[in-house]
Amino acid sequence: MGVSPSMRVLQLTKKVPFPSKDGESMAILSLASSLVSNGVSVDLLSLNTNKHRFSSNLYDLDSTIYRSINMVEINTDFHPISFIINLFSNLPYQISRFVKKEYKVKLISLLTQNKYDFILLETVYLTPYIPVIKRYSSAKILLRTHNMEYEIWERLYKGVNWGVAKLLYKWLARQMFRYESFRLHSIDYLIAISKRELLMFKASYPSLNGSVVPITWNASKDSYQKTLKSNTQNISLFFIGSLDWKPNQEGLLWFLHKVWPICQANFPHLSFYVAGRNMPETIKQMTLDGVFMMGEVDDAAAFVNQHDIAIVPLLSGSGMRAKIIESMALGKVVITTSIGLEGIEAQDTFDVCLANSPEEFINVIQLLLTHPAQMIQIGINAHHNIMNNYESVTMGKKLLDSLNHHFNCYP
């Protein structure tokens, strides 16, 4: 069943996905790119938040992906009174921060001036606009989940031992679970980022139609470098990720406090390079032997290619880690936790390395340092995994075939 080149999609996002330096932006652009590569026309409507402000001139933005790019500025700063009020509302405060009248007005304008086949909501944060979409358009509504939001708060709750924070995280997790479950009934199709999440969402709503589209990798931008360092004294570890995301902060600090001191004692020649946008001052000012705080880097792929072993020590969070996909695609060995690997089909010690405790991290690092040929082979296997199973054009075609099957778009 073919896909008509006239198929049109409006993609709604809670942040401007430019520049593509964080996992959410990479996920947004990878899906849009996979659709465009298969002949679909995609328009973008983004909230331009003060936290992730896109300050360049919109007309100077060179995008070969979108037919049109639209954005509405919004302030998502924390407001204690609104937070307290929303604790007793059906709408979680985390969601309510992205509801804005001006965005609704722009959305109505696009819906009335264009005939779309699908409206693609990137994350549950855009679901408050579903009533507007249904009123002004007959397009089918697709919800693309980057994770299970309630699970992030649930894991934060489980990670806190006591106090007000534990009670608060528990309440927020329950509130978000109820909201996410409710919104599943108002969409036409779910695009889950992993098989695990699709199954868990279907457990809440068994008749839900959906499929899995992971974060993909565009083979045309591949800068894979297969290199083998004969001198293990030059091998370096690295971390890259958005450091305004609490699970990233939590995992990095855990690694620096619990793992790195042991690492330094056992492997004093090792260096650890930390990169990420919006790095808190408390992390930026840390002074640890062998640790280099790089802050935000201009070219993530170049940074990854400069180093050897990716450290992704996630203890909470949900969804799929774009930076793991990127590191694997570039042929790097990734050491991550079971939570970090969720949503990614990979095998321990074949194309990725698993570690869930300080002792396991140290053992894996020692294995890689003493077996450099195995280290490079794991990186090669990782690269092949991403090229074979997460390639953008292929995944886009699979999604369109599934949509055609469910909605009989173009018989």
Token pair, residue 103, equals: 């965005």
Buried b (16+ CB within 10 A) or exposed e, 303-315: ebbebbbbbbbbb
The average pLDDT across 219-238 equals 64
- The SS3 assignment for 11 reads strand
CB 331 within 8 A of CB 224: yes
- pTM for this entry: 0.81
For residue 60, give the amino acid letter. D
285 phi and psi angles, rounded to 5 deg:
-90, 0
Confidence check: pLDDT of 380 > 90? yes
Tally helices (H) and strands (E) across the chain. Answer: 17, 13
Which residues fall within 8 angstroms of residue 90, CB to CB, at 6 or more apart?
178, 179, 182
> What ranges make up the beta strands (E) of 146-266?
189-192, 210-212, 236-240
pLDDT of 228: 46
Mean pLDDT of 109-135: 97
Work out the pLDDT band at 295, boundaries 50, 70, 90.
Answer: very high
Percent of the chain at pLDDT > 70 equals 93
Distance of CA 48 to the CA centre of its chain: 18
Domains of the chain in sequence order:
8-216+391-407 (3.40.50.2000), 220-389 (3.40.50.2000)
Question: pLDDT band at residue 332, thresholds of 50, 70 and 90?
Answer: very high
Using one digit for the tens of pLDDT, what is the confidence trace for 297-308? 988 889 999 999
CA separation for the pair 124, 170 (Å, rounded): 19
The residues near 226 (Cβ < 8 Å, ≥ 6 apart) are 331, 376, 379, 380, 383
